[in-house]
Each structure stands twice: as C-alpha cells, then as structure tokens.
Structure 1
C-alpha cells in the first residue's frame, strides 16, 4: 500500500491555492486527508470564513469513505437521499456529499486520500483540487 507523504499533501494544497488565486476566487480552505480519513495537511487563506476548513474536510472525508469524487456523490445522493442522510448521521457530521473534493490516486488506481476545498462554488472548489493533484503528478478521481 502506497502512502501519501506530507510533502505531497502540502504541494497539492500549495498548487490548489495558487490556482485559486490566479482565477480570482474568494478565499479558500484546502484539506488533504489520507486513505483512512485522517488529516494530512490543511490551509485556510486569510479572509476565509470559519466554516471553510470543516466543509472542505467533510467533502474530502465523504470522498474517501465512499471511494468516489464528491461530484459523483452528489449524483448518488440525489438518487437515494434517505441513504445519504443516514450516512451523514453515521459519519457524525464528517460526511458532506457536496461538489468540491476529489480522490488522490496512485498510478495503479490505489486511493491514497482525498483533497477537499471550500470557499468558492462547488465547481471552483473541485477545479482547484483537480489542479493540485495533477500538479503533483498523481491521479485524481
């Protein structure tokens, strides 16, 4: 089993935040977790609201828990809302199936973790996560 290093997690965050700044997005928080849902690295830009880290974490946690991007989880939740409400309850508030997180995968497809962002629209959050993962040379899912 491959591991996501702290250096990789920090690089993902730095690249994601740089992409956000270039695009002119609102202040963001970006969180990287490992394949077990444990926090690896986090940054919250100046001016980002107090909820940003928690929301970014919940998006990333949901992605790792379900093995899918948060965009895919939004679609699944629309088709089965009762189940996803139960998942949110079971996850004790850590499970947020909203667009803005992607899986971090090794070249063989193994899930190494996830990155989640909060501060912009779901599409903006997702875009900077994708950029961060790809800039490090890993695969996003």
Structure 2
C-alpha cells in the first residue's frame, strides 16, 4: 500500500527533478492499485489539462500492469488492441512513457505514477526518481 506521505514525497521529488534539470513544468499524480488518485500536484505555470494527462498515463499502467514504454510498444505493434483497451476504459488510457508502475519489495503492483509536462521520456525519468525516493520500485 502507498501512504499519502509516500505519494506526496514521490510527487515533490519528481517535480523538483524537472525543475533542477531545467525542463518544462511537470505535473504528477500517484494512483493506488485500484486506479484511484492519492495525490496530485500541478504548478501554476503548467497548463490546466495536466491532471487528466498524468492520470491517463498512470491509469493505463496500473490497469494493464505495464509501464508506459511497454504500452507504447504494444500500441505500435497492435494498435487495435490499445484502441480496444482504451474503449473498455472509457478513454482513460494514454499509452506513452510517463506512466510508471509502482511495486513493493515483493514485486507486487501497488499503484502507478503519472508525470507529464516535458518529453515523455523525461516524464518517466522524473517519475522513477520520485518513486525511488519513497523507497519503492518503479517500472517505466
């Protein structure tokens, strides 16, 4: 289980990572294993639609049990599959990097983090840093 304190720490570290790297403003969400938001942050300089993008990245990861990079590869190889998945999940899946699975010490998926604002690869890197700072493992 991800605590609220861990979720907030993941977000703070991910956003700071982006700021320190000189990236565009990042926004981040942490979802529990059921796809429900635990915490979200969007700096005032980020566009207002960032919650939905971050959530869609994380939602796809937790619901499919695969990180955004694997989802993107699946979408490229089998677009019909990801289109069907997105239909089943009412358009809530965004299959690109930046949606990162969160695993506990036993390797069990306990949630996901979605980061958006810069390139998808940078978003994923920031998420991984945040997850590691909370003492958990991430799978981009």
Q: TM class by shorter-chain length?
A: over 0.9
Counterpart of 1:61 (choices 54, 59, 62) is 59
CA apart distance, 1:47: 1.1
Counterpart of 1:101 (choices 99, 102, 112) is 99
TM-score, normalization by structure 2: 0.97
Deviates more, 1:57-66 or 1:83-92: 83-92
Cα RMSD for the two superposed structures: 0.7
Aligned residues between the structures? 139
CA apart distance, 1:98: 1.1
User: Which residue in 2 is equivalent to 1:9?
Assistant: 7
* 2:122 pairs with 1:114: no
Secondary structure of residue in 2 paired with 1:26: coil
Secondary structure of residue in 1 paired with 2:44: coil
Secondary structure of residue in 2 paired with 1:33: strand
* 2:76 pairs with 1:81: no
Question: Within 2, Cα distance between the matches of 1:41 and 1:50?
Answer: 16
Unaligned runs of 5+ in 1: none
List structure 1 runs of 4+ shifted beyond 4 angstroms: none
User: Which residue in 1 is equivalent to 2:90?
Assistant: 92
TM-score, normalization by structure 1: 0.96
Secondary structure of residue in 2 paired with 1:86: helix
CA apart distance, 1:25: 0.8
Deviates more, 1:53-62 or 1:91-100: 91-100
User: Which residue in 2 is equivalent to 1:48?
Assistant: 46
